[in-house]
Amino acid sequence: MSSASAPRVAGTDPAPANPARTRPIGKRSPRHHVERLVSTTSAPVMKTTAMLPTTVVAGMIRASRPGINRLLTSVTRVPAGTRAIQVHQTIRTLDYPSRSEQVRGEWVIGGRSGVGHVRTDQPIIYYLHGSGYVICSTRTHRGLTARLSNRTGRAVFSLDYRLGPRYRWPAAGDDTIRGYLWLLEQGFAPEQIVVAGDSAGGHLALDLLGHNQRTRTPQPAGVALLSPLYDPTFGIAHAYQRTGSSRDPFIEATSGRTFLRLYTGDADADHPRMKVVLAPGDQLPPVLIQHGAIEVMTADARAAHEMLSAAGSDARITSWDGQGHVFQMFGSRAAREALDELTAFIGPRART
């Protein structure tokens, strides 16, 4: 990335005393009508689940997940000409090499990407969709992955990982690692892969970096995190919400914590795959972090940036004025500008 196009870096303190340090970039624009629809739908659900026992919420998630996914799929437009190629492949397990597990997902190729076929000698994006670890799918995020494909000229492999409450931690992380190893086995060079993830997908991307560091697996060329989850106990977000700084139209911290517990269960909050802390000294890829300035996970984004910077990564963080959680999914002007920044970051990442 050239110095002329490098995004401005926001502060990393969870609750900075000087707001000017984290002055958002981009132009303020009214929330897109699609965002209003989603926010008016999600807000009542969030308020209701915040008052219910976890077992009741689990049942609600199981029953409502198809409808929630259909809504998100219907309002996040998929560009014309997009191709989605389903993948269902077998790979050895992480812990028991004699057994096999499945890698599920889809190759997304934008109609204006210029990509004819998926080729191992071409750069790609490995995408990890957001979910709160309990909802969404590759299909709900197909509009976003297709736009990334069109803008970057890359095929995107979008992983279909296991979700709670049926599957518990670290199932989704194991699927993420397995998907990355599968890409390497297919012949994709790590320096041709940029990993991108939003929300819980951001936490999965950090977990992948930690696994690669521990196992000496080659790191990807770069990582893009959109409104990333850093603390899967949602403690950081809950504390940030209590400061009154969040006006997120999509997520409420108490109910968000309940959703995450459906996946994390009684996992140790300090486990290195829950609270990811990368060791300094080892080579880490450059990272771009984007978050909405009014979202409840602002402090998570800052904490991730602080951790990555301390470990030696060339990590940059940008905050977008007036925007909520994963605003890049929608068709607003701010979303388009954020995708411009992502494209500038991802484009030069391939080293041929």
Check residue 154 and give its pLDDT.
98
pLDDT top residue among 14 and 210: 210
Check residue 347 and give its pLDDT.
86
In 3D space, the residue among 28, 39, 22 whose CA is nearest the CA of residue 337 turns out to be: 28
pLDDT top residue among 329 and 21: 329
**Per-residue confidence at 10, pLDDT binned at 50, 70, 90?**
very low
* Interatomic CA distance for residues 306 and 300, integer angstroms: 10
Rg (CA), the chain: 19
* Interatomic CA distance for residues 116 and 109, integer angstroms: 8
Angle (CA) 260 266 267, round 5°: 80
The gap from C-alpha 304 to its chain's centroid, in whole angstroms, comes to 12
Is residue 342 in a domain? Answer: yes
Is residue 5 in a domain? Answer: no
Is pLDDT of 157 > 90? yes
Check residue 350 and give its pLDDT.
47
Q: pLDDT digit string (tens) for 282-295?
A: 689 999 999 999 99
Q: What distances in angstroms separate CA 248 from CA 167, 177, 285, one per listed residue?
A: 28, 31, 30
For the chain, percent of residues with pLDDT exceeding 70: 81
pLDDT top residue among 44 and 60: 60
Which residues contact residue 331 at a Cβ distance below 8 angstroms, ignoring those fewer than 6 apart?
32, 34, 77
Which residues contact residue 71 at a Cβ distance below 8 angstroms, ignoring those fewer than 6 apart?
38, 41
Is residue 1 in a domain? Answer: no
Is residue 253 in a domain? Answer: yes
Amino acid identity of 218? Answer: P
Is residue 12 in a domain? Answer: no
Mean pLDDT of 226-233: 98
Estimate the crossing angle of helix 54-75 against helix 33-49, to 10 degrees.
170
Residue 316, helix vs strand vs coil: strand
Q: What distances in angstroms separate CA 197 from CA 22, 30, 250, 310, one per listed residue?
A: 22, 25, 18, 21
* CATH number of the structural domain spanning residue 306: 3.40.50.1820
Is residue 186 in a domain? Answer: yes
pTM for the complete prediction? 0.85
pLDDT top residue among 297 and 94: 297
Is residue 261 in a domain? Answer: yes
Name the residue range of residue 345's domain. Answer: 19-349
pLDDT top residue among 65 and 352: 65
| Lowest mean pLDDT segment, chosen from 38-42, 205-209, 234-238, 336-340 | 38-42
Is residue 304 in a domain? Answer: yes
Q: What distances in angstroms separate CA 265 from CA 166, 169, 232, 259, 272, one per listed residue?
A: 11, 7, 11, 10, 16
pLDDT top residue among 45 and 234: 234
H-helix or E-strand containing 157?
strand 155-159
Check residue 349 and give its pLDDT.
52
Amino acid identity of 284? Answer: L
What domain count does the chain have?
1
